[in-house]
Amino acid sequence: MGAEGNKRAVIFGSMPCGDGAFLRPYLAEGGWTVFCADGGVRSARSAGLKPDYLIGDWDSGGAPEPGVPCVTLPVEKDMTDLQAAADQAMGLGFRELLLCGCTGGRMDHTAANLALLEWIAGRGGAALLVDEGNEVRFLEGPAELRLANRPPYRYLSLVPLDRTISGVTLRGLKYPLTNAVLTRGDTLSVSNEPLGPQAELSIASGRLLLIRSQPDEA
């Protein structure tokens, strides 16, 4: 994230985000356009952000507002409000997306929102899904990534989406790997820990979720 020249959008789903303090490191550079999926407008305002676009069927607490571009969706439709907001953003040329207010509540919505990361990638975008304690991104091999631990997270986990992920190499982490194979359903690659300010990851083939997280509150 953060490539020069990219149009960047933060998209709020309808789940509460508190005061949005966890977003500040991500939004610090400025230049983000704010899309709100239905009730996500409440979270945007709680985070001190003004909505630039409103999208929804208005069954989750959102509503059209004077002076804000608005897309009203039918209640019976083929995609969620969040996907519709992402589709709208990408249709306007935004390729770097930050999704929040997308976890908790209904498990089917959380799972669908995680899968949405792959949908965005398949359309040429790059997305992060974040909440108060987690950051999730989608990766597909072949891929190499140098990941700064900024904002800092305690744990780094890889969750395979394919049956096998081949050629996995991890450096700068407590438990390194070299040309390893990960298997879907195994937990080998869960709860690794950064050793310094930057970690390196490469995969030869396969799709996975890279999740950075904080420990649960005691």
Mean pLDDT throughout 186-203?
Answer: 96
Whether 159 maps to a domain, the answer reads: yes
Share of the chain above pLDDT 90, in %: 83
Same domain? For 120 and 147 the reply is no
pLDDT of residue 77: 81
Q: How far apart are CA 33 and CA 68, in angstroms?
A: 12
Range of the domain at 29: 8-132
Q: What is the pTM of this model?
A: 0.92
Q: What is the CATH number of the domain that holds 199?
A: 3.40.50.10240
Same domain? For 142 and 126 the reply is no
Same domain? For 58 and 163 the reply is no
Residue 177 has pLDDT above 70, yes or no: yes
Residue 3 has pLDDT above 50, yes or no: no
69-89 per-position pLDDT tens digit: 999 988 878 899 999 999 999
Q: Tokens 């298997």 sit at which residue? A: 183
Look at the alpha carbons of 129, 78, 59, 55 in this order and tell me if their dihedral is positive or negative: positive
Q: What are the φ/ψ torsions at residue 95 (nearest 5 degrees)?
A: -120, -15
The C-alpha angle 140, 214, 99, rounded to 5 degrees, equals: 50
Whether 188 maps to a domain, the answer reads: yes
Mean pLDDT throughout 172-182?
Answer: 97
111-164 per-position pLDDT tens digit: 999 999 999 999 999 999 999 999 999 999 999 999 999 999 999 999 999 999
Same domain? For 118 and 142 the reply is no
Residue 192 has pLDDT above 80, yes or no: yes
- Looking at per-residue pLDDT, the higher value among 59 and 94 belongs to 94
Task: Find, among 75, 83, 76, the residue nearest to 14 by Cα.
Answer: 83
Are the C-beta atoms of residues 105 and 134 closer than 8 Å to each other? no
pLDDT category of residue 217 using cuts at 50, 70 and 90 = low
pLDDT category of residue 2 using cuts at 50, 70 and 90 = very low
Q: List C-alpha distances in Å: 66 to 54, 189, 197, 212.
A: 11, 48, 45, 38
Domain termination site, one of 132, 151, 169: 132
Q: Is 5 left (phi over 0), alpha (psi -120 to 50) or beta?
A: left
Whether 113 maps to a domain, the answer reads: yes
pLDDT of residue 75: 82
pLDDT of residue 218: 40
Look at the alpha carbons of 77, 122, 170, 212 in this order and tell me if their dihedral is positive or negative: negative
Whether 218 maps to a domain, the answer reads: no
Instruction: Count other C-beta atoms under 10 Å from residue 44's C-beta.
Output: 26
Cis peptide before 51 (omega within 30 of 0): no
Question: Strands, E, within 13-161: which ranges?
Answer: 32-37, 53-56, 70-72, 96-100, 126-130, 134-140, 143-148, 155-160
Same domain? For 41 and 145 the reply is no
